[in-house]
Amino acid sequence: MSDRTEIDRALIGSSAAPFAVEVEKGAIRRFAEAIGESAEIYFDEAVARSLGYLGIVAPPTFPTTFRPPSKPAWVHGLDEGRILAGEQGFHYRRPILAGDRLQCELRLTDVQDKRSSKGNMELMVQDLIVTSPSGDVVCINRRVVIYRGQTTSLAQGVSS
């Protein structure tokens, strides 16, 4: 197993091109259904308004659907078959609502080397910073993406 790192550490602190997201009622409802959510606040505008919101509220994990239009520079040249989803967390300043027009910026904040029983891996820590049109932070979705090290097959070099 090689100790060679493949993710360019010089890109830590860089961002992918910003992109816009328009949050639609239907997208919130479909997402809530897909994750098995049944709270009316995600489906019924009258219920959401009765609780003080301006519209249907997106479930807390909804920003996982916000994808940049192109791959960020730090994944160019990596073997996508070795990329796995890792830990994810959300920090909210306010809920995301149907009708929101949001700006998103994906930033590489750190790269960490880890060793496991299955070999070496690199962990890419990425922050998706979601802001309102006025520039206020709505939420930050921190995600850790695992890039598995190259493995060699045990069958290589063994003849039958």
pLDDT in tens, 26-85: 999 999 999 999 999 999 999 999 999 999 999 999 999 999 999 999 998 899 999 999
pLDDT score at 64: 95
Question: CA dist 77 to 40, 98, 149, Å?
Answer: 44, 37, 14
- Tell me which of 3.40.50.720, 3.40.225.10, 3.10.129.10, 3.40.50.1110 is the CATH number of domain 9-22+65-148: 3.10.129.10
Helix (H) or strand (E) holding 115: strand 101-116
pLDDT category at 116 given cuts 50, 70, 90 is confident
pLDDT over 50 (residue 153): no
Bridge partners for 121 per DSSP: 114, 148
Burial of 62 (0-12, 13-18, 19+ CB in 10 A): buried
- Residue 106 is which amino acid? L
pLDDT score at 154: 43
Section 86-99 average pLDDT:
96
Query: Per the structure block, which two tokens stand in for 160?
Result: 């039958």
Domain ranges of the chain: 9-22+65-148
The string of pLDDT tens digits covering residues 121-147 is 999 999 999 999 999 999 999 999 999
Query: Per the structure block, which two tokens stand in for 146?
Result: 């695992």
- In this structure, the number of other CB atoms found within 10 A of the CB of residue 22 comes to 10
Q: 130 near 102, Cβ under 8 Å?
A: yes
pLDDT over 60 (residue 149): yes
Q: What is the pTM of this model?
A: 0.85
pLDDT score at 18: 95
| Residue 116 or residue 131, greater confidence | 131
Bridge partners for 93 per DSSP: none
